[in-house]
């Protein structure tokens, strides 16, 4: 593995670790704010961070008129539909269960990537995915073998999953012409515009600043800077350099991180099955990376491989 490729893997893993913390951060933010309010402030924080970073380092590309539709579609699937599903879903399920459902994204992305971009996974990649997901299930299984979660919350979390898969496919198109920070900044900007009507109509009347704490403000800030800023930049680099399917394989790390953080901060239980599941997830991820992803682009579109930069 080349040094530059190792660096990309590190960035993708870092993104998953940061994202693992977001499920716990949401629980703290939800003590003071309603779901849409959390998303609204989260995106507002991310916009200030992203555009400030982009202007300072001169990494912001001008969007071509013909690509506006792709940026609008990107914002529609994520953050708009994704955060609607995730934010309301997390009010009905635990942080760990929510993270586990989100971790099914890598199981769906390869099929979408194959259909759209002819990205092919080897049998070892698929074996790693299956083993990893088996470990994910162990993280949330009860002693009786059941999964304690509200079905409505689960359904909403799967809305987020399908939105994230769609996001990955659109990002694959945009990385050919735009830097990761450009994509992430405009994605957040258009997403915020979509949430403005919902915030003004349904949420602002419920905003009670007397309920706001330093802890909840810190949680929202983390969600904005890391969850909607740095993480999206890092995963966009990963998708560009590794391909959509292989970059998203690491999504199974998210519930592992969430389970550990939830144990310490939210006092969620950590029985033996959860610990075993964590090790199985890591084993599956290692197996999935043994064989290289073979990419066969569709005619008329070349596979993109650039030197990583934001």
Q: Is 226 within the bounds of a domain? A: yes
> What percentage of the chain exceeds 70 in pLDDT?
89
In a domain, 24, yes or no: yes
pLDDT digits (tens, 9 = 90+) for 253-290: 999 999 999 999 999 888 888 889 888 988 888 887 77
In a domain, 175, yes or no: yes
Residue 121 included in any domain:
no
Using CA atoms, how far residue 47 sits from 1, 117, 126, 247, 283, in Å, is: 35, 30, 37, 24, 37
Q: What is the pLDDT of residues 19-50, one digit of tens each?
A: 999 999 999 999 999 999 999 999 999 999 99
Q: State the CB neighbour count (10 A cutoff) for residue 290.
A: 11
Q: Which two structure tokens, joined as six digits, stand for 236?
A: 């966009």
Q: How confident is the model at residue 121 (pLDDT cuts 50, 70, 90)?
A: confident
Residue 303, pLDDT score: 36
- Structural domain span for residue 153: 3-115+149-269
pLDDT of residue 15: 96
Q: How many domains does the chain have?
A: 1
Q: Is 162 among the domain residues?
A: yes
- State the Cα–Cα distance between residues 237 and 216, nearest whole angstrom: 30
**Residue 18: inside a domain, yes or no?**
yes
pLDDT: which is higher, 119 or 192: 192
Q: What is the pLDDT of residues 164-213, one digit of tens each?
A: 999 999 998 899 899 999 999 999 999 999 999 999 999 999 999 999 99
In a domain, 28, yes or no: yes
Q: Taking the CA atoms of the chain, what radius of gyration do you get in angstroms?
A: 19
Cα angle, residue 16 at apex, residues 303 and 135 outer, rounded to 5°: 105
The average confidence (pLDDT) of the chain is 87
Q: Is residue 126 part of a domain?
A: no
**116: pLDDT strictly greater than 50:** yes
* Other beta carbons within 10 Å of 127: 16
* pLDDT, tens only, 214-264: 999 999 999 999 999 999 999 999 998 988 878 888 888 999 999 999 999
Q: For the whole model, what pTM was predicted?
A: 0.87
């Amino acid at each position: 593995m080349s040094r530059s490729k190792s660096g990309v893997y590190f960035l993708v893993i870092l993104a998953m670790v940061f994202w693992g913390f977001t499920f716990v951060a949401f629980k703290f933010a939800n003590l003071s704010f309603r779901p849409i309010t959390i998303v609204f402030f989260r995106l507002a924080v991310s916009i200030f961070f992203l555009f400030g970073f982009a202007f300072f380092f001169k990494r912001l590309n001008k969007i071509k008129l013909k690509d506006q539709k792709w940026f609008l579609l990107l914002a529609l699937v994520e953050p708009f539909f994704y955060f609607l599903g995730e934010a309301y879903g997390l009010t009905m399920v635990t942080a760990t269960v929510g993270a586990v459902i989100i971790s099914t994204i890598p199981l769906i992305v390869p099929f979408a990537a194959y259909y759209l971009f002819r990205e092919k996974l080897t049998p070892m990649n698929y074996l790693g995915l299956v083993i990893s997901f088996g470990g994910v299930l162990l993280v949330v299984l009860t002693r009786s073998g059941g999964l304690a979660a509200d079905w409505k919350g689960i359904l909403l979390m799967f809305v987020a999953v399908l939105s994230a898969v769609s996001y990955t496919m659109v990002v694959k198109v945009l990385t050919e012409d735009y830097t990761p920070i450009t994509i992430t900044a405009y994605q957040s900007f258009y997403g915020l515009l979509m949430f403005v009507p919902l915030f003004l109509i349904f949420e602002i009347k419920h905003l009670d600043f007397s309920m706001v704490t330093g802890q909840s403000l810190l949680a929202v800030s983390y969600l904005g800077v890391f969850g909607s800023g740095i993480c999206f930049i890092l995963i966009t680099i990963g998708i560009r350099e590794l391909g959509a399917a292989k970059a998203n394989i690491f999504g199974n790390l998210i519930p592992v991180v969430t389970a550990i953080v939830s144990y310490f901060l939210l006092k969620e239980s950590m029985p033996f099955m959860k610990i075993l599941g964590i090790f199985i997830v890591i084993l599956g991820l290692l197996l999935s990376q043994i064989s290289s992803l073979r990419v066969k682009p569709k005619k008329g579109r070349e596979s993109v491989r650039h030197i990583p930069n934001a």
